[in-house]
A and B are shown apart, each in its own frame.
Chain A
Amino acid sequence: EAGVAQSPRYKIIEKRQSVAFWCNPISGHATLYWYQQILGQGPKLLIQFQNNGVVDDSQLPKDRFSAERLKGVDSTLKIQPAKLEDSAVYLCASSPRTGLKQFFGPGTRLTVL
């Protein structure tokens, strides 16, 4: 069974630039999560989708971050414009439904200079 796929694996940008991350969850998983993990900290949930609807985005900085899951399958997370403090690993996870164990992708390591 294929795992959660993410791309790119690494990205380096200048502050104020834009960046987008892509995630393809495990086939059939209804729930998709985006997390931000700053070095030395636990993952912080940014947004949770159930199919193509947003379940929770209370910790998403909506002035600069946006995410979509238009067809209820893959998802994109965008940052526009990026700030230095956005440097982190962005993890995507999926689960068959909310509350069950999550399967994480390898993450995208973002460096903002």
Chain B
Amino acid sequence: GQQVMQIPQYQHVQEGEDFTTYCNSSTTLSNIQWYKQRPGGHPVFLIQLVKSGEVKKQKRLTFQFGEAKKNSSLHITATQTTDVGTYFCADNTGNQFYFGTGTSLTVIP
């Protein structure tokens, strides 16, 4: 079935450093959603990208959708301890939702 790979699997950063997670697919994505899951919590929706090459910003978070719609990225500028959690991309193709493998972010104060 559809597989959406994310890299890296884990990332440890010092508070104030930047962080980026990448989401890659071997097939064209219809649209991509990003979720954040805090430790012990449930996924919380962050954003949806639909258009090729789309870039959206939410405060310190920047989301991009690749030109070929086969990859996406989430970049966090100047991480804070509140950014700790696992970030998932999710491909919505047809009626299916495929969540990526996730990137677990640890922020060291």
Distance in angstroms from B105 CB to nearest chain A CB is 14
**A41 in contact with B42 (CB, 8 Å):** no
Interface size on A, residues (CB 8 A): 24
Q: Which residues of chain B from 88 to 109 have a CB within 8 Å of any chain A CB?
A: 88, 90, 92, 94-102
Q: Name the segment of B14-22, B43-51, B60-68 touching the other chain.
A: B43-51
Task: Please name all residues of chain A whose beta carbon is closer than 8 Å to the beta carbon of B43 when the two chains form the complex.
Answer: 43, 91, 93, 102, 104
The 8 A CB mask of B10-47 against A (1 = contact, 0 = none) is 00000000000000000000010100000001111100
Tell me the complex Cα distance, A44–B44, Å: 15
The 8 A CB mask of B71-84 against A (1 = contact, 0 = none) is 00000000000000
Task: Please name all residues of chain A whose beta carbon is closer than 8 Å to the beta carbon of B99 when the two chains form the complex.
Answer: 35, 42-45
Task: Please name all residues of chain A whose beta carbon is closer than 8 Å to the beta carbon of B92 when the two chains form the complex.
Answer: 99
CB-nearest residue of chain A to B88: A42
Task: Please name all residues of chain B whose beta carbon is closer than 8 Å to the beta carbon of A58 when the two chains form the complex.
Answer: 96
The reply on A48 being an interface residue by CB < 8 A is yes
Task: Please name all residues of chain B whose beta carbon is closer than 8 Å to the beta carbon of A106 when the two chains form the complex.
Answer: 41-42
- Give A contacts to B, CB under 8 Å: 33, 35, 41-45, 48, 55-56, 58-59, 91, 93, 98-107
